[in-house]
Structure 1
Amino acid sequence: MAGTSETGIASGSSPLGPIETIHAPVLLDECVALVTPALDGPDPWVVDCTLGLAGHACAFLKAAPAAHLIGIDRDQEALGLASERMAREGLGDRFVPVHAAFDQLEDILKDRGLKRVSAVFMDLGLSSLQIDERSRGFSYSQDAPLDMRMDPSQSLTAAQILADYSEEDLARIFQDYGEEHHARRIARALAQARQRQPVRTSAQLDRLVDQAVPRAHRAPGNPAKRVFQALRIEVNGELDKLVRTLPQAVARLRVGGRLVVESYHSLEDRSVKRFMASGLQAKLPQGLPVVPQSARPVFLDLTHGARKADADQVAANPRSASVRLRAVEVSRPIPAERIERWREESSQPVYRANMHPSRRR
C-alpha cells in the first residue's frame, strides 16, 4: 500500500493522480542539455527557482550524478509532493526543498553557505497542479472561487482585488499585465456588477468579461484569458519578483554558470530578453575607440534568441505552445558596478500596477 503524506495525499500522487502523469515538463530535453554542462565542475549546485512537481529537477539530478539541487516553491503542497518524488527516485540526499518566493534567492543561498552556484533554472509557467486543481481558481475553464494564490498562506486573492481596487486601478492591471485592449470596458463592467453582488467565482468573471467585450472585436480564444492572466500576476507579484530575481541569479553564478529561463507570455519573455541582452552588450559611452574591460559583455548567448516548441512537442504537450526558452552563460567575472546597476533597475516596479496595501513578498 502506498504511504500517505502529511497532507493526506498518497505518496507519489496529488488530488489529480500520479504526479509523473499530471505534469509533463516543457522542453525537458532542451533544458537538461542547457543546464547540465554547467554541472561538470567541483561541488556543483543547481537552483530550480520554480520547483513545482520536480519534473525538471529530477532530470537535472539524474543527468548530473555529482550535483545537488535547491528547489524553491511558494506552494507547500507542491514541495511536499516533489520531496516525496525525489525520495522515491533515490535523489533525496541531493535535494534541498525551500518554501519561499524565488526573489529571496540570495538570502536562501546565504543561509546555506553557498557563495556560488553552477546553474539557475526558472520555469515561469503554472504547474498542472495549480491549473487543474479546481479550488485554486486559476482557470476560466471550470467554476471555482477566485483565489489564484501560488502561496495559500498569503492574504491577497483575486476576489479581493475585484472587490477592493478602483475601476481605474482594475483597468491598469488588465492593460499592463494582460495587454487587454478592452481593459477600461471590462473594468467598468466589473465595477458596476460588484455594486449588485460580489464577483467571487471564475464563472462570474468569465461571464462578465464575455458580456463586456464586443464580439466583433474579439481575439481568438476565450475573451477572459488576458483578464485571468492579469489578476494572477497581480495576486502573486510575478513580474516584479522576476525582475528582482534575475540580477540575484547571475550575481551568484560562477564563471561558466548558466541561467536558463522558460517564459510563457510576452511580459515575462520581454523582461528576460531585456535582462539577458544587457549582459550580452558592451556598456560604454558612444565614441570610445576601445571597449574597456569593465564594459565588455559578461554573458554568452546559448540559445541565440528564444527557442520554441516544435509541432510534435506541442502535439504531445499543448501547454508548451507558448513557451520561450532563453539561456546565457556567465563568460567572465561580472563587475560589481554592473550588478549594482541591475539591482537598482530592478528595485522599482516595471509596471504601474501593484497598488494593493496587502501585497507581500
Structure 2
Amino acid sequence: MTFQDLKLIEPIKKALQEEGYTTPTPIQSKAIPVILETKDLLGCAQTGTGKTAAFAIPMLQLLHENPVGKFERSRIRALILTPTRELAIQIGESFAAYGRYTRVRHTVIFGGVGQKPQTDALAKGVDVLIATPGRLLDLINQGFIKLNQLEFFVLDEADRMLDMGFVHDVKKVIKLLPGKRQSLFFSATMPPAIVTLAGTILRNPVKVEVTPVSSTADTIRQSVFFVDKSNKNSLLLHILQDESIATALVFTRTKHGADKVVKVLRKAGVTSEAIHGNKSQTARQNALKNFKNQTTRVLVATDIAARGIDVDDLTHVINYEIPNIPETYVHRIGRTGRAGAKGIALSFCDKEEKPYLKDIHKLIAKNIPVVNDHPFAAVRQPA
C-alpha cells in the first residue's frame, strides 16, 4: 500500500511527496481510512510508529474539505491534547508540513513561556489547537479559548498523561467539549485506568493496534555492557571514540544524572546538551534543534523530557542507566530504528541494575546479547 491508495486529496499528497513519504506505516494505513469515515478511534501505538501522521493527515483533509464561513473563522475546530511541550511542538511541525497546501491554520500552546505570543495567535483565529493541559486550562479560565464548537478531539499519549499526573486536568477539559464531535484516543499501553478514561471519551470506537509495547523493532541491534557504576563515564567516552556515531541519544534516570554526564562529555571535548524538566523551554527547544541539525553530537535526556523526541536518522540510543520500568526501555530504544531504518541500542548495567535488566528480558521475551570485549567490563559480572 502507498499513500496514493488512501484516497487523500491533492494538496496533502503533494506535501507528503515533498516530505519523502511514499509508504504509510501500519498505524497510518489502518487509522487514516477510519478517521476519514469520521469514526471515533482507539489507537494502541507507541511513539515511533508514525501515529502523529496517522491522525494529522486525515484531520487536515476533513478540515480542508469542510471549510467554515468567514464569520466562523475565529472558532477552534480541533483540539489535540498532549502531555509534553516537546511533543506539542513536534505535532505542530507535522501539521505545518502535511498541511502546507491546505487552508488549515494551527497553533501550539504550552506552559513555561510567556503567554502573549500564544494569545496573539489565538486572537487571529486557528482551526487546530495543539496544547498541553495546564496552559490550555489556564487560557480557558482567562477567557482566551472556547471549546464549545469543537469538531475533533485528540488525546495523545494518554498513558503518559496518567504517569505525569495530568488525568484530572484531562477530565476537566473533556467536560468542556461538545457532545457531538469526533474523538481519537492514542496510548502506548492500555492499563485499566486508561481503558476507563477511553470509555468516557469515545463512542463506538474502531480499535487499531500495532506493535504492542512489549516488542522491540527487529531493525534495532541491542546489546548490554556489564560495567561498574564508577566506570560508566569511561565506557561512554570509549564508545564515543567511534567517529561513525554521528549522534547519540543518552538516557539517564534523573535530571541531576543528565547534567553530570554532560559535564563529563564536554570536559572530554564531546559536544553535548541535557534535556530535562529543570531546563527552560527555550533551552530545551534549542538543545533539540542543535541535536537534529547535528551541531550537538550527544543529547542526554530523562525519560519524561524525551517522550516525543523524534529525530530522523538517529542511529544510537545509549542507556547510561537501565530504566526501572521495563516498558520504558522499549520506548527509549524505539527512538532509533524507525520506519525500517537500522538502529543500535547500547545499555550499561551495573550490579544494582541487574533486576531491571531481568524485567526487560521478561517483557521483550528475549535476552539482550552481552558485550564482554570492552576495557571496562565489571570484575564480577551479574549472572
Fold-level similarity (TM above 0.5): no
TM-score (norm 2): 0.28
Which is helix-richer, 1 or 2?
A: 1
